[in-house]
Structure 1
Amino acid sequence: MAIPNGYSRRQIALHWIVFVLVVLQFVLHEGISDAWDVVEDGGSVAFSPVVAGHVIGGLLVLLLVIWRLQIRATRGAPPPPKEENPALKHVAKAVHAGLYLLLILMPLSGAVAWFGGVEPAAEAHEVMRLGILALVGLHIAGALYHQFILRNNLMNRMRQAAD
């Protein structure tokens, strides 16, 4: 497989769609958290668009991330800049791997908790929520560092397609 010099339109679109969905998941968190508390106390929850939005959003994140990984496996991803510090390359790789892992585990743990009533899955889901926040923060910080400190226009790879 040839190494691409940038991301495709599809990869860029999926990146930003997943970003928006993850933001919405955090916005809708309180509604499903309140519903979970009711279920934990033995109650039942009537249909709620907020809960449904969180569940459907989680499923969409899972499906879109799997699609992104499939595209990455077949098309590849551009390499880091040649002049990149080796330590930063390792950090970037770890952050991306952690993001992909959590973007898969979060919807799975949420589904097991919600549909299976499994308390440990709900607890893991809550802990992973903090992990994904930290990794998204590192991802954004890295992009801003490249854009404004290193000034290597790395962010353009997620704005302009190379296909």
Structure 2
Amino acid sequence: MSKEAPAGYSRMQIVLHWAVAVLVVVQFLLGPAMSSFVEAERTGADPGFGALAWAHVGVGLAILLLAFWRVGLRFANGVPAPAFEPKTPEQEFIAFLTRELSFFLYLTIFALPITGAIGWFYQNEVATSVHGSMKVLVIVIVGVHIAISLFHQFVLRNGALDRMRRPN
């Protein structure tokens, strides 16, 4: 028996979405401090206490926990049906892009803190390198996510963005 899709996102799904979005921005602001700390350690210089580096670690772990919570709610509550039924090849492409982008967005939201934690706590240079290299990927994925959301809101005018602002 298939569970019916909810009319919209729950209040908690919306709160978690925006909390992760804000924390991702905070991570980009803390990133240079973490890079400086790691570089100082790598070259044998005294990195100092590294409060901002530890803040980066803490925020990354918070993102990971919130992402697990969000995915749990996604499985428990489901997600609303797509905001529109594609009628043209262009609309089908937008629907495909939206679906696939969600997958890659979740993948990076899990992969970044996991590789960062492995790099930090286990001093694993491969994980640290992968973590640092994913920065551009996240910027692209988030940028496309924002662009598609704005396209839905202002071009298709289907209210898709409103579903992430107002609970069902």
Q: CA deviation at 1:159?
A: 0.7
Residues 78-125 of structure 1: CA deviation (Å, up to 9, x unaligned): 121233322211111111110100110100111111111111111111
Q: CA deviation at 1:151?
A: 1.3
RMSD: 1.1
Q: Which residue of 1 aligns with 2:73?
A: 71
- Indicate the SS of the match to 2:161: helix
Q: Which residue of 2 aligns with 1:100?
A: 106
TM-score (norm 2): 0.92
Confirm whether residue 129 of structure 1 aligns to residue 135 of structure 2: yes
Q: Is residue 8–residue 163 contact of structure 2 (8 Å, CA) maintained in 1?
A: yes
Higher relative contact order at CA 8 Å, sep ≥6: structure 1 or structure 2?
1
Residues 113-163 of structure 1: CA deviation (Å, up to 9, x unaligned): 11111111111111211111100000000011011111112110011100x
Q: Which residue of 1 aligns with 2:39?
A: 37
Q: CA deviation at 1:44?
A: 4.6
- Indicate the SS of the match to 1:79: coil
Choose 36-45 or 107-116, whichever is displaced more: 36-45
- CA distance in 1 between counterparts of 2:62 and 2:143 reads 22
Q: Which residue of 2 aligns with 1:12?
A: 14
- CA distance in 1 between counterparts of 2:52 and 2:84 reads 45
Percent identity for Structure 1 against Structure 2:
38
**Runs of at least 5 residues in structure 1 that lack an aligned partner in the other structure:** none
Query: Which letter does structure 1 place at the counterpart of 2:39?
Result: D
